[in-house]
Structure 1
Amino acid sequence: MCRLFGYVTESPCAVADLLGEEGLEAFTSLTAVHSDGWGMAWQTPEGTRTTSSPHSADVDDDYRKLVAEPLSNAGFVHLRWATGGLEVRPENTHPFLTDDAAFAHNGHIHPIGELEELLTPASKARLRGDTDSERYFHFVHQCVEEYGDEAEGVTHALATLVKKFPRCSLNALMLTPTHMFAIHINSRADSPLRALREMFDDEGDIPPRHMTEYFAMDYRETEHGLEIVSSGLGQPGWTPVPADTAVMVDLETREITRLDPVAQLGVDATQAAD
């Protein structure tokens, strides 16, 4: 389970400039919970670039350096909170990258074995770590390859996962050379309340909205472009992303296309069988 910040802007921007000093400190302070590594992805003329570390972002000089650089007009940052039992190591650190597509997930899909069963032998051969998140990504990538179209492939993958794993959070960001996909599907996922309480002696020290809206995502449109963030900043000016939605943002035009994975298979996410 993790925190995410993504952006699609008119020109290259630094994460620090988009969030502002206060916003960046608030986002980085989420390592009080999400301290099991960090990663970034950004788009360049040469292709999608990524970097990651299994160290906490708040003590990593590379994180501070990269968030201050105007790397791209499209990218995202991920702070990891490792799901129980999954190791903190480079192979498990987001983002995952395949064929110029980068992916980061906020949630937990279980049982992992049933998720892996959805993968073809070719997709399984790409696996490097132990996480459900990496398997989620390769299933999405597999569907995009099968359909030959990003929107159709992502929509089909999400519809399949909503039906098979209705109580899991599919929150994610995916960056390709042409689009950013923002996925906010989690209406029946359980927040990690027990784990959060075990981490803090005083519930008042838990980051904003983590106890009530852990899987919430917010967005805002500014003069720079579009930004999206996981709950936890506690700042005004952000609008909640509607429940169980996914969008595709064109990196060149910043046009937003809503995807409807639930309707594709005739699945009502709020009624899907357990």
Structure 2
Amino acid sequence: MCRWLAYQGKPCFLEEMLLQPNHSLVLQSMEATKAVTAVNADGFGAAWYGEKTSPALYREVLPAWSDANLRSIAEHTKSHRFMAHVRASTGTNTSRENCHPFNVENWLFMHNGQIPEFESVRFNLERQLEERFYLKRTGTTDSELIFLLLLQYGLETNPRYALKRVFSDIEAEIRARGVNDPFKASLCISNGLQFWGLRYASYGPPPTMFYKQVDSGVVLASEPYEMEREGWQAIPSQSLVELVGESVEITRFSLEERAA
């Protein structure tokens, strides 16, 4: 399983979250403690917003701990809103196109989890994509497909509805194929103005998610970047998180509430 982190608040250097802490995201790529897979070596990515509405994006197939370019970028780049992800593949190729975060215009998306038996349900899910979104698909992951479906079904205007619509469609396809394993997701989305996070599973515990309010802003992460864990709050299962400024709003997420 992958590890990820998102921050918004006063501008700070990326290294303050990605490199310096004693359980930083880069260290988690070697030894995660809240994931099924301890080593996340199938690429990484970082994205940050600056003066433009669209974010800067850096993705690479090397393990995060061995990339000198990432260290240099993190040490010299300051941003008020950024996200980063270290990848452990669930079956698709290791390539830049399959590394998170995924970007379309001002939107960013990253994900930990998987659609079970993705190859058996992939065809029908991809067929839902309108041509304009299908042509934006550059990789082969279930994560990128989820992102594009969310954009198609109203992410820009109503994120909660888009998530319920897409997750309901995924669950329906899983059942139609007779797949018994759960669909799991711990994801983060940004439009350049705020973050949304979702912790979800068909059944059983979903991948972990935590948040912490720091002096400079708010951090949302799949795993605390500090061994001490003081001040970190666990996000409950089946929850949607909205980060606006330094405020954190957590509400229950249920597919049964999906609007017609």
TM-score, length of structure 2 as denominator length: 0.80
**Paired amino acid for 2:199:** H
2:165 paired with 1:138: no
- Residues 36 and 56 in structure 1, CA contact (< 8 A), matched pair in contact too: yes
- Residues 101 and 177 in structure 1, CA contact (< 8 A), matched pair in contact too: yes
Change in Cα spacing, 1:122 to 1:99, as seen in structure 2 (3 Å) is: same
Structure-to-structure mapping, 1:92-241, within 5 angstroms = 92-109=98-115, 110=118, 111-144=121-154, 149-157=157-165, 159-161=167-169, 163-164=171-172, 167-186=182-201, 188=203, 215-231=207-223, 234-237=227-230, 238-241=232-235
Structure-to-structure mapping, 1:28-39, within 5 angstroms = 28-30=29-31, 33-39=39-45
> What is residue 11 of structure 2 aligned with on the other side?
12
Change in Cα spacing, 1:131 to 1:18, as seen in structure 2 (3 Å) is: closer
Task: Report Cα offsets for 1:143-193 as digits up to 9, x if no partner.
Answer: 226xx514355444455357435821121111212221112113626xxxx
> What is residue 193 of structure 1 aligned with on the other side?
none
| Partner Cα separation in structure 2 for residue 26 and residue 144 of structure 1 | 36
- Residues 239 and 251 in structure 2, CA contact (< 8 A), matched pair in contact too: yes
> What is residue 76 of structure 2 aligned with on the other side?
69
C-alpha deviation, 1:57, in angstroms:
0.6
Structure 2: 5+ residue stretches without partners: 33-37, 175-180
Count matched residues. Answer: 238
**Paired amino acid for 2:159:** A
- Residues 2 and 112 in structure 2, CA contact (< 8 A), matched pair in contact too: yes
Task: Report Cα offsets for 1:180-208 as digits up to 9, x if no partner.
Answer: 1112113626xxxxxxxxxxxxxxxxxxx
- Residues 23 and 224 in structure 2, CA contact (< 8 A), matched pair in contact too: no
| Partner Cα separation in structure 1 for residue 197 and residue 46 of structure 2 | 15
Change in Cα spacing, 1:160 to 1:125, as seen in structure 2 (3 Å) is: same
SS at match of 2:73: helix
- Residues 155 and 260 in structure 1, CA contact (< 8 A), matched pair in contact too: no
**Paired amino acid for 1:160:** S
| Partner Cα separation in structure 2 for residue 57 and residue 64 of structure 1 | 9
**Paired amino acid for 1:236:** R
**Paired amino acid for 1:12:** P
C-alpha deviation, 1:258, in angstroms:
4.0
- Residues 144 and 152 in structure 1, CA contact (< 8 A), matched pair in contact too: no
TM-score, length of structure 1 as denominator length: 0.76
- Residues 159 and 261 in structure 1, CA contact (< 8 A), matched pair in contact too: no
Identity among equivalent pairs (%): 21
Change in Cα spacing, 1:81 to 1:232, as seen in structure 2 (3 Å) is: farther
SS at match of 1:66: helix
Change in Cα spacing, 1:49 to 1:157, as seen in structure 2 (3 Å) is: farther
> What is residue 201 of structure 1 aligned with on the other side?
none
- Residues 154 and 162 in structure 2, CA contact (< 8 A), matched pair in contact too: yes
C-alpha deviation, 1:260, in angstroms:
4.9
| Partner Cα separation in structure 1 for residue 21 and residue 242 of structure 2 | 28
Change in Cα spacing, 1:232 to 1:219, as seen in structure 2 (3 Å) is: closer
Change in Cα spacing, 1:115 to 1:30, as seen in structure 2 (3 Å) is: farther
